[in-house]
Amino acid sequence: MSEKANRILVVEDDSSLQKMLVMNLKAEGYHVVAVDDGVEAIEVVRSQRIDAVILDVMLPVMDGFQVCSTIRVEGHKMPILFLTAKNSGPERLEGLLLGADDYLGKPFSVDELLLRMARLIEQSKRSSDYGAVRVALDLDVLKIGKGEIRFDQYSIVTHDGQIKKISKREIML
């Protein structure tokens, strides 16, 4: 499995299922935060670093669909996996359309759930690493050794100080 210092929020109101999920996720090396209603879930997402969410649909106070929608509207990007008995085609579609990354019906295989979570977290980390590289390159001048690339002027300055014009396509590469 991949890096395990990841923090997973489990949102499940069935206490025995919640305990089983927490136990299995911890056994895989994850740090787990567990809550039993949607309002608590939103508070945790707002106040703590969470790397992934396992979310039931049928929750007290605020259902899982509302939780998922709120998380996405607020701009949080962590993967969300619905784990629920609400498993019909239209319900699955609704969850995915609201921004969930995966949907697993109950009853379920613990091994499958763990594999899906590991993959979702791995994909999320790759995506955020790519985003960090793009942000780091979102500047006018990139210095490389004694040379530089001037994105705003479509030019490069060689190590000996010569300025060479390049095309927009070359800049994009």
All domains of the chain in start order, with CATH:
7-135 (3.40.50.2300), 139-172 (no CATH)
- The residue ranking higher by pLDDT, 125 or 69, is 69
pLDDT digits (tens, 9 = 90+) for 112-163: 999 999 999 998 887 665 444 444 545 667 777 777 777 767 778 888 888 8
pLDDT at 46: 94
60 three-class SS: coil
pLDDT digits (tens, 9 = 90+) for 8-47: 999 999 999 999 999 999 999 999 999 999 999 999 999 9
Confidence label for 173 from pLDDT (cuts 50, 70 and 90) = low
What SS3 string covers 105-151? ECCCCHHHHHHHHHHHHHHHHHHHHHHHHHHHCCCCEEEECCEEEEH
Longest dimension (CA), the chain: 69
Confidence label for 172 from pLDDT (cuts 50, 70 and 90) = low
pLDDT at 143: 74
